Structure 1
Amino acid sequence: MNIQAAPFSKPVLFFIIPSLKGGGAERVIISLANYFNKNNFQSVLISLNNDVPAYEIDDDVKVFYLTDRQKSSFIYRLYHIAETFFKLIKLLRTQKPVCALSFITSANVWTGITCWLTRVPYIVSERTSPDRSVIRFNYLRKQLALNLYKRAEAVVVSAKGVEDCLLKDKDFKVLTNIVRITNAVTIFPLPSEEKVHHRRFILGVGRLAYVKGFDILIEAYAKSGLTDVDLIIVGDGEERANLVCQIFNLGLRERVLLPGSKNNLQDYYNQAEMFVLPSRNEGYPNALVEAMSFGCPSIAVDCNFGPSEIINNGKNGILVKRGSIIDLADAMHRLAGDEVLKTTLGNQARVISQTNHPDKILGEWETLIKKHIAATATAAQLTNSQPAL
């Protein structure tokens, strides 16, 4: 990583995240970097790990990768910690950002420490259930995170449930700087007319990870009795081998497909009979918002957090009780056979294209960041204007 003094004529904003691999948080932070770079800022994207970006980054957005975690031995972990710390400090001192924005707990902690040391204003964002991240920390790590979050200009959450979860904790309930900004609808290219599958299909989209619950979806599909509708799960991840084994054991090799990641998701959303979100946990599920924006009738497990804030059960989608595979199977079977219900839910789902339009959501981010930049500049002017004693 070649770090040089910032030659930028525009104010610099840092966007910091653990990785730029595929995922909802990665898509959002890249969208923010692209947006601000077009709006009188120089965006600098910083990935703590060296990964190939899953989404398109504008050419004039600067991108830095801090470390390449190839080995996991204790010595290498210490090396990567030191490397991350010193490179991030150097970037903050040479690029001189007016504000740093970080996504996901590990990046939030790194950002808080280094920005505090370099006196750079920072905003952190929790993107999933705090029960799975900061609240589970041991005492020392939790107190460190709490103090860094209290010093932040804002702690941004994407769902009310995430905010409530933070504030119910006996330590984090002292936070007074929480701001809620939901995720914007992704603007895709227009769908093509080319068929992505030769039969009707149910769609799941996301990283193939345990928390995404695709094993639940496959089991529910097996119990649904649907033989004339296939199941396609688009995405890649560490659970692929386990899901393949599950599909084989259930005798569903011909009807459940795992085609990997796709760059034409708009065609899948547009052609699916329905979309199903089976997650065990979420922050604010992008895939659900995307599917609904295409008018795809959607079913979601009522997990923590997000689905119940997006779906009005029976109006613009169907919410299924968490932990009930039978209820999910029944909902899929009922929706597959009810054309009127599919049309009604799909039409109402499209409203999310307005409520979560990028102009609205990105405008909220812009207002937040500019507010704290202005407040910091005013405070600095007041400090500099004080007479020396």
Structure 2
Amino acid sequence: MQISPEDKKSLLIFLGSLTGGGAERVAATLAGYLSKDETFDVTLVTLDSKNRDFYTLEEAVKRVAMDEAGETAGLIKFISNIKRVAKFRSVLKVEKPDLVIAFMTRYAVIALLASMFMKIKVIVSERNYPPYRENHGMWETLRKYVYRFADLHIVQTKLIADWIRVNTKAEAVQVIPNSITWPLPKLPPIIKPDRVLNEDDRIILAAGTFKHQKGFDLLLESMKIVMKESLNWKLVLLGDEKYTDELTKIYNDFIALNGLTGKVLLPGRAGNVDDWYERAEIFVLSSRYEGFPNVLLEAMASGCACVSFDCKTGPAELIKDGKSGILVPEGDTASLAEQILCLMHDDTLRKRLSKHAVTVREAYSEEKIMHIWRNQIRETLQGSP
């Protein structure tokens, strides 16, 4: 059936950048999925430039970069943020979307302010547990008052949904977890495990952006205990290069001071993370907070035996404790070390957890989750979210 141009709806996805990260991955996946629907025209807009893109988009997705990246927090940046709102409003006037999907607090606030009185519907998607997310007070205040004007909020867990309803007075809130693309795609840069590891190395893997939220400092504290009893086990931290200079130095200093040199490896950012999941026997999530951790979802889908802090939110939704993984009290580094050691020494337990972990491939399949997104978008466009 041929769709006339008049019947097509224009969708605009807005976020800070397409550099590596969970929200960026979801946005790129969603844009690609929706672009295959002949009833939609899809544009993806970022505050940042295209030069720092990590994720690639389907050819049918129009890419617009505002080239307005930079610090968005602090009163000293107030004027810059007003300019960003004005510039995004100009983008909206050019692109004329029927609906905007804005990811993460700051960009959602910009979208809601910029689209006022333009008869554009807006879906907001928070990607972390809001009380723990590090936002400047200005953004916290604006979120409190403008979020209620969104046509729909899409969040990853019930706990986040409850927070949004109570703290922003938003009424239309839907829970949609993240999806898993299987098999996992390969992206540059490629770092082959056999270039970093010895053949007999046994691997504990952690991955994510090198920032405070991800708790790699807590994981390294646990490693001080774990590595006292290890033989040929090594911890590999796959990190994000945009945070490398500052935090890699901190981590390397800790590693050197605590006798972990050669036992904890920081190879950098790898786009072939599937090869690393395949090589690893244990995966650890040490985050202080999350929304719905993609790396944990990927590790489980890859059959790793997973242990995670029971942080807000996501791990408890993904892991059935003791069946498909192990949950550890949030921030308890001694308990984390204990459970990692338990997995290291128990082949049967690792295999059992692995067997049940891979069921997430079906439960959170891309087709299933993206179909829910598409339905919510259609209902919002019809005026009944």
Listed one character per residue, the Cα deviations across residues 118-177 of structure 1 (whole Å, up to 9, x for unaligned) are 22000001111110349x764x7555423422221111111122123334x5x43x3321
Q: Which residue of 2 aligns with 1:44?
A: 43
RMSD of aligned alpha carbons:
2.6
User: Aligned equivalents of 2:143 and 2:248: distance in 1?
Assistant: 33
Q: Which residue of 2 aligns with 1:128?
A: 128
Out of 312-321 and 53-62, give the one that drifted further.
53-62
Q: Does 1:370 align with 2:349?
A: no
Unaligned 5+ runs, structure 2: none
Question: Following superposition of structure 1 onto structure 2, how do residues 6-155 of structure 1 map, counting pairs within 5 Å?
Answer: 10-40=8-38, 41-50=40-49, 52-69=52-69, 77=77, 80-133=80-133, 138=137, 142=140, 144-155=142-153
Code of the residue aligned with 1:90 in structure 2: it is S
Q: Which residue of 1 aligns with 2:294?
A: 286
Q: Does 1:227 align with 2:237?
A: no
**Rg larger in structure:** 1
Q: Which residue of 2 aligns with 1:246?
A: 254
Q: CA deviation at 1:295?
A: 1.0
Q: CA deviation at 1:240?
A: 1.6
> Given that residues 33 and 61 in structure 1 are in contact (C-alpha distance below 8 angstroms), is that contact kept between their aligned partners in structure 2?
yes
> Given that residues 182 and 361 in structure 2 are in contact (C-alpha distance below 8 angstroms), is that contact kept between their aligned partners in structure 1?
no
Distance 1:19 1:207, change over 3 A: same
Question: Following superposition of structure 1 onto structure 2, how do residues 276-315 of structure 1 map, counting pairs within 5 Å?
Answer: 276-315=284-323
Out of 141-150 and 47-56, give the one that drifted further.
141-150
User: Aligned equivalents of 1:338 and 1:92: distance in 2?
Assistant: 56
User: Aligned equivalents of 1:177 and 1:125: distance in 2?
Assistant: 12
> Given that residues 105 and 133 in structure 1 are in contact (C-alpha distance below 8 angstroms), is that contact kept between their aligned partners in structure 2?
no
User: Aligned equivalents of 2:66 and 2:79: distance in 1?
Assistant: 12
Q: Which residue of 2 aligns with 1:380?
A: none
Unaligned 5+ runs, structure 1: 1-6, 377-389
Q: CA deviation at 1:97?
A: 0.8
Distance 1:279 1:94, change over 3 A: same
User: Aligned equivalents of 2:94 and 2:111: distance in 1?
Assistant: 15
Q: CA deviation at 1:189?
A: 4.8
Code of the residue aligned with 1:242 in structure 2: it is I
Which of residues 347, 352, 355 in structure 1 aligns to 2:363? 355
TM normalised by structure 2 equals 0.88
TM normalised by structure 1 equals 0.87
Code of the residue aligned with 1:45 in structure 2: it is L
| Percentage of matched positions with identical amino acids | 30
> Given that residues 274 and 296 in structure 1 are in contact (C-alpha distance below 8 angstroms), is that contact kept between their aligned partners in structure 2?
yes
> Given that residues 66 and 83 in structure 1 are in contact (C-alpha distance below 8 angstroms), is that contact kept between their aligned partners in structure 2?
no
Distance 1:8 1:249, change over 3 A: farther
> Given that residues 200 and 228 in structure 1 are in contact (C-alpha distance below 8 angstroms), is that contact kept between their aligned partners in structure 2?
yes
Q: Does 1:163 align with 2:175?
A: no
Distance 1:329 1:360, change over 3 A: same
- The number of aligned residues is 365
Distance 1:154 1:72, change over 3 A: closer
> Given that residues 67 and 84 in structure 1 are in contact (C-alpha distance below 8 angstroms), is that contact kept between their aligned partners in structure 2?
no
Code of the residue aligned with 1:86 in structure 2: it is A
Code of the residue aligned with 1:62 in structure 2: it is K
> Given that residues 37 and 61 in structure 1 are in contact (C-alpha distance below 8 angstroms), is that contact kept between their aligned partners in structure 2?
yes
Code of the residue aligned with 2:235 in structure 1: it is L
User: Aligned equivalents of 1:75 and 1:229: distance in 2?
Assistant: 48
Out of 51-60 and 110-119, give the one that drifted further.
51-60
Distance 1:195 1:259, change over 3 A: closer
> Given that residues 89 and 118 in structure 1 are in contact (C-alpha distance below 8 angstroms), is that contact kept between their aligned partners in structure 2?
no
Q: CA deviation at 1:59?
A: 2.6
User: Aligned equivalents of 1:250 and 1:10: distance in 2?
Assistant: 60
> Given that residues 200 and 230 in structure 1 are in contact (C-alpha distance below 8 angstroms), is that contact kept between their aligned partners in structure 2?
yes
> Given that residues 324 and 356 in structure 2 are in contact (C-alpha distance below 8 angstroms), is that contact kept between their aligned partners in structure 1?
yes
User: Aligned equivalents of 1:336 and 1:71: distance in 2?
Assistant: 42
Q: Which residue of 1 aligns with 2:171?
A: 176
What is the DSSP-based 3-state SS (H/G/I as helix, E as strand, rest coil) of the residue aligned with 2:66? strand
